[in-house]
Amino acid sequence: MKYSLSEENYLKAIYHLEKIAATGVATNAIAEQMETKPSSVTDMVKKLSEKDLVNYIKYQGVTLTEKGRKTALTIIRKHRLWEVFLVDKLNFHWDQVHEIAEQLEHIHSEELISRLDKFLGEPDFDPHGDPIPDKHGNIKRTEKKLLSDLDKNQGGVCVGVKESSAEFLQYLDKKKITIGTKIKVLGKEFFDGSMVILVGKDQSFISKKTAENLYVQTN
Amino acid sequence: MKYSLSEENYLKAIYHLEKIAATGVATNAIAEQMETKPSSVTDMVKKLSEKDLVNYIKYQGVTLTEKGRKTALTIIRKHRLWEVFLVDKLNFHWDQVHEIAEQLEHIHSEELISRLDKFLGEPDFDPHGDPIPDKHGNIKRTEKKLLSDLDKNQGGVCVGVKESSAEFLQYLDKKKITIGTKIKVLGKEFFDGSMVILVGKDQSFISKKTAENLYVQTN
DNA sequence: ACAATATTTTAGTCTTATCTAAAATTTAAT
DNA sequence: ATTAAATTTTAGATAAGACTAAAATATTGT
Ligand SMILES: [Mn+2]
Ligand SMILES: [Mn+2]
Ligand SMILES: [Mn+2]
Ligand SMILES: [Mn+2]
């Protein structure tokens, strides 16, 4: 029931990779995500398989079992709740909280998380717009599109970021874009996918890469 | 500058033992406190000595260096601040917070602790009445006596507990004693050190052992 | 003073989580 | 269909932290 820091981090990594991989998650992919070597991944994956947290067939990659998925989701729940705490209560900026939450997510105490959740007002989303699983691992799914998928004259509200590195978040600050910001596409360049957008009352130019990392809810 | 969980726990243990030991802290004493074996202690103490955190001479026990003492105090500061958070903000009871704080004290982030401290109103004492070191490791010393040292008809306010196991704290709850409770010694039995005391408006009987674990500030 | 006892250290082993180098397997290219 | 290249696994090594059993040192009792 209680897993090591390392095991928990592997489960989280596999969970995130599973969302984008069609087939089983590759050893190399996990190694890259975890900043470790493929041989280390093989070792750990065997151990997780022993504990019935992943399905593993040699050379075929891994998938999470139901147990593994549930476990990953509780860690993600903790991570995101702590991020809300750091931003809402301690006034951290949204680009400063991820590293600290990486540590806090490994604190073992159901009671703590239950009380923290209440203290924070049972939030549905973390500071980056990512959904917070409930205690049973259920995630509230919402309609959201990448800004890059909007056409000219379409508009919406920024509801999340796909990538949430400090660099990107700080760049968004410079552009006056944050969760809740109203955005409208004024122009879209077919050549490079760059856009001219309306941010509040001001016009702004953003690259395709930026547009591909911003989630909006259309109206 | 950043130490492992194990190293931090040893430093903390040595710090607490040094306060009561006249001479260097004995290997056996550390082993008992840490619930580990003396041979493991010897190994760790050598490592801490390498890192200039303790002074160690074979067969002579250990003492903390200035660096080691400062490090121990920052961990204790974190532990106690988190305990305040758990009680004041998450409404945990004072007998439930120690185990969780044992985990939280190892989160590495100066900024986090600085902000947590402000968020909590820069408290001077934790839920058990223990002083919270400031960021430089300075502890606010206060006048306090063990209840067992008071004479008949002397009174005071409960300002802390010496032992803070859940069992003892729950027993104090039953006796309606907590931090801030006014206590007066009505009678003291020389035979076994037991006392009849006034707790608020009610009379109560307590053993010597209990009286020896309650700190009061006399008035 | 000297034997008996207690404490502490050393030597060697174990587990977890890593790594490198080499072998096995799969996938891609001709 | 072979060969070349990429991926994955195995084998063996290392480091941290813990343990047991045995040796070394210190303390105590007579
Ligand atoms: Mn994060
Ligand atoms: Mn987040
Ligand atoms: Mn405590
Ligand atoms: Mn305390």
Bridge-based pairing of strands B182-188 and B62-64 is unpaired
Chain D footprint bases within 7 A of protein beta carbons = 7-12, 16-22, 25-26
Task: Compute the distance between CA of residue A160 and CA of residue A163 in angstroms, rounded to an integer.
Answer: 9
Q: What integer best gives the mean pLDDT of chain B?
A: 97
> Which of residues 54 to 83 on B have a Cβ less than 7 angstroms from any strand C atom?
56, 58-61
pLDDT recorded at residue A200: 87
CATH numeric code, B145-217 = 2.30.30.90
Q: How close is the nearest chain B Cα to the Cα of A27, in Å? A: 29
Residue B219 has pLDDT above 80, yes or no: no
- Tell me the angle at which helices B5-20 and B66-84 cross, rounded to the nearest 10 degrees: 100
Binary contact (A100, B92; C-beta < 8 A): no
**Which of A78, A83, A85, A90 should we substitute to test contact with B (largest number of B Cβ atoms within 10 Å)?**
A90
Confidence of residue A134 (pLDDT cuts 50, 70, 90): very high
> Which of residues 20 to 79 on A have a Cβ less than 7 angstroms from any strand D atom?
26-29, 38-39, 41-43, 45-46, 56, 58-61
Task: Compute the distance between CA of residue B53 and CA of residue B69 in angstroms, rounded to an integer.
Answer: 8
Provide the whole-model pTM.
Answer: 0.95
Mean of pLDDT values over B62-76: 98
Q: What is the distance in A from the centroid of ligand 2 to the CA of A80?
A: 6
**Cβ neighbours of B62 (radius 10 Å):** 29
Bridge-based pairing of strands A202-206 and A195-199 is antiparallel
Residue A102 has pLDDT above 80, yes or no: yes
In the DSSP assignment, the letter for residue B125 is B
CA A219 to chain centre: 24
Mean of pLDDT values over B117-141: 97
Contact list in A for residue B115 (CB cut-off 8 A) is: 90-92
> Per CATH, the architecture of A5-64 is what?
Orthogonal Bundle (1.10)
Mean of pLDDT values over A89-102: 98
Q: How close is the nearest chain B Cα to the Cα of A109, in Å? A: 7
Residue A219 has pLDDT above 80, yes or no: no
Binary contact (B104, A99; C-beta < 8 A): no
CA A74 to chain centre: 14
Beta bridge partners, A183, equal: A156, A199
Chain C footprint bases within 7 A of protein beta carbons = 7-12, 16-22, 25-26
> Is the Cα torsion angle B192, B198, B200, B205 positive or negative in sign?
positive
Phi, then psi, of A25 in degrees rounded to 5? -75, 130
Confidence of residue A71 (pLDDT cuts 50, 70, 90): very high
Domain ranges of chain B: 5-64, 145-217
**Cβ neighbours of B154 (radius 10 Å):** 16
